[in-house]
Amino acid sequence: MTSEISVVLNALHARLTAANQTVSVAESCTGGLLGAALTELPGSSCFFLGGIQAYANEVKEGLLGVSHDTLVSFGAVSEEVASEMARGVQRLTGSDWAISTTGVAGPDGGSDEKPVGTVWISVVGFDRVFSQKLTLDGDRTNVRHGSVSRALSMLLERLSGADSTL
């Protein structure tokens, strides 16, 4: 774990615990790394409820409730799917916040429209959705770890920004 992620994790731990708020995750391209990062510190059971690794579209649809039409219309690597994944895991777990990741980690699977390194992250909390598209360089490991780092930072930004108790 990098020192940058450690700083973000410590801040998330403090803010979520102080606010008595919870988080859950729905992961595709990060394959469990986001949940692993959130449970890195002792005491994470106070705020981390769990997650789903939804690599296959059938799991995105069946467990998370991602619409088949959304997958067909926009593809698995899209803002729309990331948003539905986050809402789905939030609904399943009852968490205050949810984070999702979906992308092309590589080395295969990219296209002209969505090259390797294309990732969508959504953070859902208090009936608001915040999404961001990333275009990351590097190999599979860099894409996955970069996605986790940005996802954690996005949640911290939401907690630090506008009133998160809306």
- Measure Cα distances from 88 to 21, 98, 117 in Å: 18, 9, 24
Residues 6+ apart with CB under 8 A from 140: 105, 106, 107
Total Cβ atoms within 10 A of residue 15: 17
pLDDT for the residue numbered 1 = 67
Which domains does the chain carry?
Answer: 3-160 (3.90.950.20)
pTM comes to 0.94
pLDDT for the residue numbered 115 = 96
pLDDT for the residue numbered 3 = 83
Each residue's pLDDT, cut to its tens digit, for the chain (166 residues) gives 678 889 999 999 999 999 999 999 999 999 999 999 999 999 999 999 999 999 999 999 999 999 999 999 999 999 999 999 999 999 999 999 999 999 999 999 999 999 999 999 999 999 999 999 999 999 999 999 999 999 999 999 999 874 444 3
| C-alpha–C-alpha distance, residues 42 and 111, integer Å | 41
Q: Which two tokens stand for residue 95?
A: 């968490």
Terminus-to-terminus CA distance in the chain, angstroms? 32
